[in-house]
Chains A and B, each alone.
Chain A
Amino acid sequence: MNAFGLIQIGLMLSSTTIISSLQCNHLPLQQRKVIENSLRLLDKMGKKFPQQCLREKMPFRFPTQVLQPRRKETVGVAIEEIFQHIFYIFSKNLTLAAWDGTALDQFQNGLYLQIEQLEACVNRKHTQHHQSKEVSRLKLKKYFQKLDSFLRDKQHDLCSWEISRAEMRRCLQLIDKVTSKL
């Protein structure tokens, strides 16, 4: 390389971890531990559900059919989507929630690691697009958008966050039940 050489560097914005195929096989087991930990941290970060927030509770209707174990692959992709959505919801405007920062950070960190690993493994498999997968994705997108709108409407106050936290706990418990059967 001479002193004034031009070096072009193309940068790609995506996952940075390199995962072996062996690790992809161990994902379901790791996933269960992530869910266990996530549930524990969700409980740890805040106190018991405040009574005054019960009035504001709203049915979000999680699309449970996306987790029907008809096809293992579809369920795996659905779980990854859910993790992504939860990760992004809990990533901002948390000041009014007044939760334990460390517990929250660890919660996010755990989800993030799992998302990275799932992404790398899905990439490797080069799964084809199926109609059912698209329908799943759209249903989940609709559900989480509803949650996001709810938070925004309430200006991310304590009650809206506590309701969201309870909703996410339900969601993770559902995933836990499904993964234990896989």
Chain B
Amino acid sequence: QLQSKTIFPVDTIEDLSPGSSYCFKVQANLPREAKQGMFSPTSCVTNTQKVEEPLCATSLRVLAVNMEFQLLWEKQEDQEVNYNVQYLFGFLKRLNEDYSDKWLSVPGCENISSTWCNFSSIISPQGVYYLRVQARGGLNRSCLSREVQVDALKTNGIGPPGVKLELSDTWLHILISPPGGAQDEVMRTYYDLSYRIVYWKNSSNKEEEVRQKEVKQTIATVPDVSPSSLYCVKVQALLELYNKSSAYSQQECIHTPAGTPLPLIIFGIFMGALLVVLLVATPLVLMLYQAYNKIKYAFFPSCQPPLNIEGFGAQLLSSPYLPAAEEPVENCCVIESMVTEEGKQIDFTDCKHCKHSSRDSGNYSNDDNTAGSKGSKETLEKENV
């Protein structure tokens, strides 16, 4: 079956099955101009059975965090093997030249027996590198391992950020320190990081739902935190460009202080205000009342002056001691009975508007004459009734 691969001018095809025949043909392209060349003539080769070389370093892998790069590999043989780690600048593969003599040794990993190498010293942030391990054993045996490609910014892993918590009023401030360590300036320059904050409340041994927040800045706030609670936070750095995320930071927790409940505060303020008002208003009201009384006493007295004080003030209509100009009148009749010579009693009814007269009605005088008329008057009154 036909397989296709993009290669450099000088390249290696790996993982061919031993004992199989392979045929190759090459096509040159100009991708920017969307041009494809013609295929070269086919060339075939049979893959001979390879003797397993136990000397070679295997399972090469790169561990990189915060621009600190480590190459790790595995030893197959249990004998004395010396390793020499080599690197190649990526651009050399693009040139139409043989680069086999351009491999350089990583400083500090030239003649080692350990199976790891820190190669951060040769790495520049913007660059592609190839690494391989040359194993040397007894009897002048040597073997070159497979190559591993390292695109510095892409291969590098993001370390966890640092977290600090601060409280102010009902706000929880989360202060994030970006990952970096020794290479924090490089991390800051080349990576546009965002952060995922995971936080939850632990109140009275009951864990509430975990909440998340994604921010771009290194300061975030959680508003309206409840009092007397334990809040826990952990943060993770995210790199959208290469879809990378760091490990979570250490979990940081903080206790919110016991707060005074709001209704109590309001009540306290209200009572205080009431007290102030009372203390200030009461004497003021009393003073005003006093003033009012004095004015009323002076200008609008409630008791009347005696009658013999002339020209005293206003009309005294309600005084019972002075004669009124106009009196309410009643219709009343005076019945006078007269005994005529014939001995008949003649009643004279004289109805007129009555007036108070100073004439004695004669009822109570001590005149003998009138005693009789009194008696007759009484009779008349009885008859009238």
Do A13 and B32 contact each other (CB < 8 Å), given the known contacts A7-B20, A113-B90? Answer: no
Closest-CB distance, B7 to chain A (whole angstroms): 5
Contact in complex: B127, A26 (CB < 8 Å): no
Contact in complex: A80, B32 (CB < 8 Å): yes
Report which of A3, A80, A112 forms a contact with B94, defined as CB distance below 8 A: A112
Give the complex CA separation of A63 and B2 in angstroms: 46
Which residue on B lies nearest to A128, using beta carbons? B34
Tell me which residues from 105 to 129 in chain B have a Cβ below 8 Å from any Cβ of chain A: 124, 126-129
Residue A34 CB within 8 A of the other chain = yes
Do A6 and B29 contact each other (CB < 8 Å), given the known contacts A12-B5, A33-B126, A112-B128? Answer: no
**Count of chain A to chain B residue pairs whose CB atoms are closer than 8 Å in the complex:** 136
Report which of B3, B19, B31 forms a contact with A7, defined as CB distance below 8 A: B3
Residue B335 CB within 8 A of the other chain = no
Tell me which residues from 70 to 97 in chain B have a Cβ below 8 Å from any Cβ of chain A: 89-91, 94-95
Give the complex CA separation of A29 and B191 in angstroms: 11
Which residue on B lies nearest to A25, using beta carbons? B241
Closest-CB distance, A32 to chain B (whole angstroms): 11
Report which of A5, A16, A111 forms a contact with B7, defined as CB distance below 8 A: A16
Residue A87 CB within 8 A of the other chain = yes
A residues in contact with B94, CB < 8 Å: 112
Contact in complex: B4, A106 (CB < 8 Å): no
Contact in complex: B91, A8 (CB < 8 Å): no
Contact in complex: B3, A10 (CB < 8 Å): yes
Contact in complex: B7, A113 (CB < 8 Å): no
Closest-CB distance, A24 to chain B (whole angstroms): 11
Residue B26 CB within 8 A of the other chain = yes
Residue A43 CB within 8 A of the other chain = no
Give the complex CA separation of A2 and B196 in angstroms: 52
Contact in complex: A7, B1 (CB < 8 Å): yes
Give the complex CA separation of A22 and B192 in angstroms: 13
Encode B22-55 as 1/0 by CB contact (under 8 A) with A.
Answer: 1111111111111000010010100000000000
Encode B322-336 as 1/0 by CB contact (under 8 A) with A.
Answer: 000000000000000
Report which of A3, A11, A80, A126 forms a contact with B6, defined as CB distance below 8 A: A11
Contact in complex: A9, B190 (CB < 8 Å): no
Contact in complex: A109, B127 (CB < 8 Å): yes
Contact in complex: A10, B27 (CB < 8 Å): yes
Report which of B20, B24, B90 forms a contact with A112, defined as CB distance below 8 A: B90
Contact in complex: B2, A33 (CB < 8 Å): no
Residue B299 CB within 8 A of the other chain = no
Encode B115-157 as 1/0 by CB contact (under 8 A) with A.
Answer: 0000000001011110000000000000000000001000000
A residues in contact with B27, CB < 8 Å: 10-13
Contact in complex: A37, B4 (CB < 8 Å): no
Give the complex CA separation of A1 and B9 in angstroms: 28
Residue B189 CB within 8 A of the other chain = yes
Contact in complex: B23, A7 (CB < 8 Å): yes
Contact in complex: B128, A8 (CB < 8 Å): no
Do A8 and B23 contact each other (CB < 8 Å), given the known contacts A13-B9, A34-B126? Answer: yes
A residues in contact with B242, CB < 8 Å: 23
A residues in contact with B192, CB < 8 Å: 26, 29
Residue A148 CB within 8 A of the other chain = no
Which residue on B lies nearest to A29, using beta carbons? B192
Tell me which residues from 1 to 55 in chain A have a Cβ below 8 Å from any Cβ of chain B: 1, 3-17, 22-23, 26, 29-30, 33-34, 37
A residues in contact with B6, CB < 8 Å: 11-16
Which residue on B lies nearest to A12, using beta carbons? B6
Contact in complex: B5, A3 (CB < 8 Å): no
B residues in contact with A14, CB < 8 Å: 6, 29-31
5 A-B pairs, CB-CB below 8 angstroms?
Answer: A13-B7, A22-B241, A110-B124, A112-B127, A122-B32
Given A9-B2, A112-B90, output 5 extra A-B contacts at Cβ < 8 Å: A6-B21, A11-B7, A12-B29, A37-B126, A113-B126
